[in-house]
Amino acid sequence: MSAAAPATPSIWARTHTALTSKAASGLSLLIALLWTVPTFGLFISSFRHKSDLNNSGWWTFLARPSLTLDNYTDVLFGGSASNQLSNYFFNSLLITLIGAFVPMLLALMAAYAFSMIDWRGRDLVFTVVFALQIVPIQMTLVPLMRIFVGSGVSKTLPFVAVWIAHTIYALPLAVFLLHNYMADIPREIVEAAKVDGAGHITIFTRIVLPLLTPAMASFFIFQFLWVWNDLLVSLTYAGGTAKTAPLTVRLADLSGTYGDDWNLLTAGAFVSIIVPVTVFLLLQKYFVRGMMAGSVKS
């Protein structure tokens, strides 16, 4: 009796083997190096004199090293007290924290209603919410601004206008992501809790939320980075004053009227990435778990 022929590896097994090979690892390191070189060049430029930047490339620093902290000093403490970067930094922090937390909270409740509660028209409403992702933000700026101006919110409560705008723009994607993750929770757990007399609030707070920690962290990182780096929405609804404008507005003005102060722009850019990098490092464990959720089935 002849021996059985060895099974042919599946396409997923072959793909996994190819992506984890030494050649693939070397290519990944090469891509990472090429991606890092421009960032390294900007970092070196942030410590160079303005005259050196205008007369030579950043790579000449290796042959003629010359460092200065004047760029960071001008960015952090230059100008008038009301126009210093610290004011815009606080505005960005305030806008981003609430602009990331509020849509996540609302999306959690909406995702629970879409995935755990049976009601008429649920699938249709979820499809409409999901389809809202294709609406360009630029199409909503003028209508939403007219509502804020007509109600007086943009003048008296500019921060509230920015928070509402970021919440509106983030909800479709947030509901979609959290709903998909929540749908993977075994319904047996929820049904067992209902048999024990638990209501929706108890199920939501004690069962669903602890299981959604990776997904919540993943969305929070995405939304935090998007709001922190946003210029269009904040400039439209918060204006350009130091009282309400975020850090991105100030960074856009650092290069000067004729764009000849970009040495300050490089320093300001690295000051602005301190917070998002810190947030990512603190939540990266949950971020990886959230990205991998659902990729492996038992």
Spatial CA neighbour of 144 closest among 221, 263, 135, 22 = 135
Output the pLDDT for position 294: 45
User: Mapping DSSP to helix (H, G, I), strand (E, B) and coil, where does residue 118 land?
Assistant: coil
> Alpha-carbon distance 163 to 245, whole Å?
13
pLDDT at 184 over 70: yes
Amino acid identity, position 290: G
DSSP class of residue 4 equals P
Q: Give whole-number Cα distances, 248 to 43, 92, 162, 227, in Å.
A: 18, 8, 14, 10
pLDDT at 8 over 70: no
pLDDT at 106 over 90: yes
Confidence of residue 296 (pLDDT cuts 50, 70, 90): very low
What's the mean pLDDT in 88-105? Answer: 90
**Token reading at 152:** 């007086």
Radius of gyration of the chain from its Cα atoms, rounded to whole angstroms: 25
- Report yes or no on whether pTM surpasses 0.85: no
Greatest mean pLDDT range, 9-13, 50-54, 97-101, 205-209: 97-101
Spatial CA neighbour of 168 closest among 109, 245, 112, 106 = 106
Amino acid identity, position 170: A
User: Mapping DSSP to helix (H, G, I), strand (E, B) and coil, where does residue 180 land?
Assistant: helix
Spatial CA neighbour of 156 closest among 244, 84, 248 = 244
pLDDT at 260 over 90: no
**Residue in the block written with tokens 């199409």:** 139
Asked if 249 and 162 count as a contact pair (C-beta separation under 8 A), the reply is no
Output the pLDDT for position 204: 86
What's the mean pLDDT in 39-46? Answer: 86
pLDDT at 107 over 90: yes
Mean per-residue pLDDT over the chain, rounded = 81
> What is the per-residue DSSP string for 151-175?
HTHHHH-HHHHHHHHHHHHHHHHHH
Element (H, E) at 216: helix 213-228
DSSP class of residue 49 equals -
> Alpha-carbon distance 50 to 262, whole Å?
9
Asked if 154 and 111 count as a contact pair (C-beta separation under 8 A), the reply is no
> Alpha-carbon distance 26 to 92, whole Å?
39
DSSP class of residue 3 equals P
Spatial CA neighbour of 75 closest among 270, 286, 291, 293 = 270
Q: What is the pLDDT of residues 205-252, one digit of tens each?
A: 888 888 888 888 888 888 998 999 888 888 888 876 767 888 888 887
Confidence of residue 295 (pLDDT cuts 50, 70, 90): very low
Distance of alpha carbon 115 from the chain centroid: 25
Sequence-ordered strand ranges (E) for the chain: none
Output the pLDDT for position 151: 87
Output the pLDDT for position 7: 57
Q: Give whole-number Cα distances, 57 to 61, 218, 260, in Å.
A: 8, 38, 15
Domains by residue range for the chain, with CATH: 24-68 (no CATH), 83-292 (1.10.3720.10)
Q: What is the pLDDT of residues 123-160, one digit of tens each?
A: 899 999 988 888 888 888 889 889 888 888 877 888 88
